[in-house]
Structure 1
Amino acid sequence: MVQVIQAQNVSLSYLEERFGLQVAENEEFFTEWFEGLPEITVLEKQYLDRVKTNFLRLVKRPPILEDAVKMVVLSPLLDLAGFYSEPFFIATEESIEIALEDEEEIIRGRIDVLVLQQQLWLLVIESKRASFSLLEAIPQGLAYMLANPNPEKPVFGLVINGEDFQFLKLTKQDTPKYAMSDKFTLSRRGNELYQVLSILKKLGTILI
């Protein structure tokens, strides 16, 4: 009998055991999050300052639900990064299904936001409520990335909870490998949304 597993319930150890997923040890594997990042404009910084202010005001009255995170923080970032415009296409709540080779288990789930470019997955975004740890969201994001139908191309991911942001990269040639960026957070001084937007813009140029 086939067992259905929800993507939100998978762990890193499960993905390592069942899919052979490995951490990429080579620092050159994921340079896209820190090398050759584009500058952002003064107007973009002002807009991102307002986004941070809006979020910090929101957290004064918890609980902060996932939809609020997407509306207040994620949507402005995607807009500024140009992902609502050609040549990109946004899909939301996209269903995925991964069947293991023995077909005894199937992982199912729904991707919060999927950014496509010419039918290639560019970015898988998994957002969580503000109280949710990214450590719990990362396995779910990686499970979705493993479902990428274009194994010859790397796929990038972003997990967020409104306060924290972390980028992922996964390749599927031979052995599936992944790496993570540093974590960016709104709880520090300054505004690390600047770096988040810059990375999103860099990823947006990769397939164009």
Structure 2
Amino acid sequence: MVDTVQAQKINLLDLKLKFGLERTDDGEFFQEWQENLPELTDLEMAAMDEVKEEYLHLSQYPLLEPVVKLVVLSPLLKWAGFYRYPFFITGEKEVKITSEDEATIITDRLDILVFTPEFWVLVIEAKKTAYYLEVGIPQALAYMLESSNLEKPNYGFVTNGTDFIFLKLIKQEKLIYSESDLFSMRRRHNDLWNVLQILKGLSRLVVQ
């Protein structure tokens, strides 16, 4: 009997047992969020300061997912260059992932997919601000598993509007993923600068 579950109900242990996905903390595996990042211009930093100011104001009232996308994700993707060639963006994409033993099928719709014609670049899972990122991480990884080109790195970006984390998944001898450090709006330093740098770095990797 095939068990069909929604991605939002999946957890990391499910992904390990049913898909063979394993986490690595090897610092060499996911360097893209740490090294060779582009410098931001004064204009870009000012834009991120504005996003943070607007978000902190609006977050005094509970924010739902559509507002998180509008206020935070939209300017981040724009300034990172994901609205320009060679990228495309789609939302509410239906996905279906089958486990190795074909006993489990995960179905759902992902929030935002940034892609090129060759392969998926970035899966973005936006949660309302009341959700912790632990809810979105397994969901984003499940979506990433649907990529038809797992031999190349696939990247995920999970945010609840306040906190941000990046994911990398690739198939070598087995399916392996890793996480970046956590970035947060609540820090004195504007972590959106770091988030934008990483997004621009991922964009540049694909273009090159």
Partner of 1:119: helix, strand, or coil? coil
Provide structure 1 residue ranges, at least 5 long, that are not aligned to the other structure: none
Write the distance in 1 (CA, Å) between the matches of 2:26 and 2:185: 29
Are the aligned partners of 1:4 and 1:106 in contact in 2 as well (CA < 8 Å)? Answer: yes
Are the aligned partners of 1:132 and 1:161 in contact in 2 as well (CA < 8 Å)? Answer: yes
Aligned partner of 1:187 in structure 2 is: 186
In the alignment of these two chains, the number of paired residues is 207
Are the aligned partners of 1:171 and 1:177 in contact in 2 as well (CA < 8 Å)? Answer: yes
Q: Do residues 106 (structure 1) and 114 (structure 2) align? A: no
Are the aligned partners of 2:150 and 2:169 in contact in 1 as well (CA < 8 Å)? Answer: no
Aligned partner of 2:82 in structure 1 is: 83
Are the aligned partners of 1:92 and 1:114 in contact in 2 as well (CA < 8 Å)? Answer: yes
Alpha-carbon offset, residue 102 of structure 1: 3.2
Deviates most, 96-105 or 34-43: 96-105
Residue identity over aligned pairs, in percent, reads 50
Aligned partner of 2:93 in structure 1 is: 94
Q: TM-score, normalised by structure 2?
A: 0.97
For each residue in 1:86-108, what CA deviation from the matched residue of structure 2 results, as whole angstroms up to 9, or x when unmatched? 11111111111011233322101
Aligned partner of 2:65 in structure 1 is: 66
Are the aligned partners of 2:18 and 2:100 in contact in 1 as well (CA < 8 Å)? Answer: no
Aligned partner of 1:32 in structure 2 is: 32
> Partner letter of residue 94 of structure 1?
K
Q: Do residues 15 (structure 1) and 15 (structure 2) align? A: yes
Are the aligned partners of 2:165 and 2:181 in contact in 1 as well (CA < 8 Å)? Answer: yes
Alpha-carbon offset, residue 176 of structure 1: 0.4
Write the distance in 1 (CA, Å) between the matches of 2:102 and 2:147: 18
Aligned partner of 2:125 in structure 1 is: 126
For each residue in 1:143-191, what CA deviation from the matched residue of structure 2 results, as whole angstroms up to 9, or x when unmatched? 1111111122110000000000000000122210000000000001021
Q: Do residues 170 (structure 1) and 166 (structure 2) align? A: no
Are the aligned partners of 2:18 and 2:104 in contact in 1 as well (CA < 8 Å)? Answer: no
Alpha-carbon offset, residue 12 of structure 1: 0.4
C-alpha RMSD over aligned residues: 1.0
Write the distance in 1 (CA, Å) between the matches of 2:186 and 2:94: 33
Are the aligned partners of 1:137 and 1:159 in contact in 2 as well (CA < 8 Å)? Answer: yes
Q: TM-score, normalised by structure 1?
A: 0.97
Are the aligned partners of 2:18 and 2:101 in contact in 1 as well (CA < 8 Å)? Answer: no
Are the aligned partners of 1:146 and 1:172 in contact in 2 as well (CA < 8 Å)? Answer: no
Write the distance in 2 (CA, Å) between the matches of 1:82 and 1:25: 29
Provide structure 2 residue ranges, at least 5 long, that are not aligned to the other structure: none
